[in-house]
Amino acid sequence: MSNDTRPFVRRAALGACAAALAALVVPSTTAHAATAHPTVTLARPGSGANVLTLTVPATRPGAAPLTIDCTVTPSTPFRYYGGPYGGGEEGLATVQCSALVYKIQIDVALYYNGSQVTYNSRTAYNALSATADTEYPLKQGSYQTGARATITTVLGGTPVTSPIYGSASVNLP
C-alpha cells in the first residue's frame, strides 16, 4: 500500500468504527422491540401440575421401568438485605426428584409487574435436587417468581422440559 492511500484507509476504518458504535448506542426500533420485556402468564402451582413424571426404561430383561417424579417449586419472591444491590427482591426455584437423575437444569426468573426482569440458571449432575436464585433491585410493585426445569434421566437420554410455573405474587411498597 502506498503512503498516499493510508490516510484514506484510516479515515474509512475510523468511520466504520464510529458507525458500529452508533448502532450499539442508538438501537433501532426493531432492536428495541426485540429487547422489550413481554408480559407472561405463568402456570400456577398447587394443582399437582408442577410435578414431572419421567419413565426410565428397564436396563435388564424382565425388570420394570423406573418412574421418577420431579417437583418444580418456585418460591414466593422475598425481600433481601445487602448483596449486589444493597437489598432488593429475590426469587428461588428448586427441583426435587424421587430418584437420582443424570442432569437437572433449573431456570428461575423474577417478574416485576408481569414482565421478566432477571433470570438465572443452574445445572446439577448426578443429583436428586437443584436450586437457583435470582435478584433484582427493589422497586414498588408486584413480583412473581417463575421456574422451569429440564431433566435428563440418563446420559444420552432425551431431556424433558416442564412448563414455566409461577409462584404466588407479592406486592411491595
Tens of pLDDT, residue by residue over 102-126, are 999 999 999 999 999 999 999 999 9
- pTM check: above 0.85: no
Coil, helix or strand at residue 71? strand
Take residue 159 and report the three cell numbers written for it: 431431556
Averaged pLDDT score across all residues of the chain: 77
Report the SS3 class of residue 45: coil
Gyration radius (Cα) of the chain, Å = 23
Angstrom distance (rounded) from CA 68 to CA 154: 12
